Amino acid sequence: MKMKVSVLAVVTCSLLTAPRALANAETPVKSGSVDLNGDGKAEAVSIEYDEAKDEVVLKADGASARIPGDGNAPDGLFIVDLDTRDKRKELVVRTGQTDSDARSYIYGFDGKALKPLGIVPNLTEAKGNGIILSDSWKGFWNQRDKYVLDAKTGKVSLVPQDLYAVGVEATVKQSFPLARSRTDKSAIATLAQGSTIQVLAASPPSGKGGAYLYLVKSSTGLLGWATAKDLMEKTDGLPFAG
């Protein structure tokens, strides 16, 4: 499916002799000028696409970094302020055409070199408090991940979640059981054909090649676990987008 367009909600950057477009962080730009490291001097920033190598070339004040491409020239770069408590600004380059390959590469500048801070699927929201919210579409629900910027290391890291909120309803078209737990497959309930269920949460795969499990509330108020296969094949009404 085509990647959903995410809203890049960020704090307005303090720009020095920058083009108007840089003042709108939701608009990517090819080049501009901004104080990245907080020394009071503006650095020239720009982005280019090396088609022969399928790489995005990010530049800041003579320093450069190469980012893997996706076969397409990016619209530009974004300037964000991940943490308003420091004087720095960050550069974001987005690649990917679908939710499965979407990447937002985040870079900082220390006055000499561009430093990779981390990669998130989508930079959906960053309000300047050091927290990034990143959304990824999972077929019929939106997975929201939280990343934090460590002030000491300058790195962006994922905050693991045991469960992800789902919050969708579906109608059972073919009866199937709900497991007692993620590890105990014995049935706590058997869903009746025609009944309405609520898919409350998703449990991420426990290992490589694993699958999501879903916490489901039956029409009788019982909670149990269902596989993605059962939900997709034996229910109707899940909000799939194509």
pLDDT digits (tens, 9 = 90+) for 126-179: 999 999 999 999 999 999 999 999 988 889 999 999 999 999 999 999 999 999
Instruction: Please give the model's pTM, rounded to 2 decimal places.
Output: 0.83
The answer to whether 56 and 49 have CB atoms below 8 angstroms apart is yes
pLDDT digits (tens, 9 = 90+) for 117-134: 999 999 999 999 999 999
CA pair distance 184, 203, nearest whole angstrom? 14
CA pair distance 16, 88, nearest whole angstrom? 13
Look at residue 23 and tell me whether its pLDDT is greater than 90. no
Q: Chain-wide mean pLDDT for the chain?
A: 88
* Domain ranges in the chain with CATH number 2.30.30.40: 164-236
pLDDT digits (tens, 9 = 90+) for 198-223: 999 999 998 777 899 999 999 999 99
pLDDT at res. 10:
35
162 forms beta bridges with none
Name the token pair of 188: 């706590």
CATH topology of domain 164-236: SH3 type barrels. (2.30.30)
Strands (E), 111-208: 114-120, 125-126, 131-137, 142-149, 156-159, 164-172, 177-179, 187-190, 196-203
Non-local CB neighbours of 37 within 8 Å, separated by 6+ positions:
43, 87, 88, 108, 109, 110, 111
Residue with tokens 């699927």: 121
C-alpha count within 13 angstroms, C-beta hemisphere, residue 172 = 21
pLDDT at res. 26:
65
pLDDT at res. 223:
98
Non-local CB neighbours of 121 within 8 Å, separated by 6+ positions:
99, 102, 103, 104, 134, 135, 136, 145
Look at residue 2 and tell me whether its pLDDT is greater than 50. no
Name the token pair of 63: 């320093």
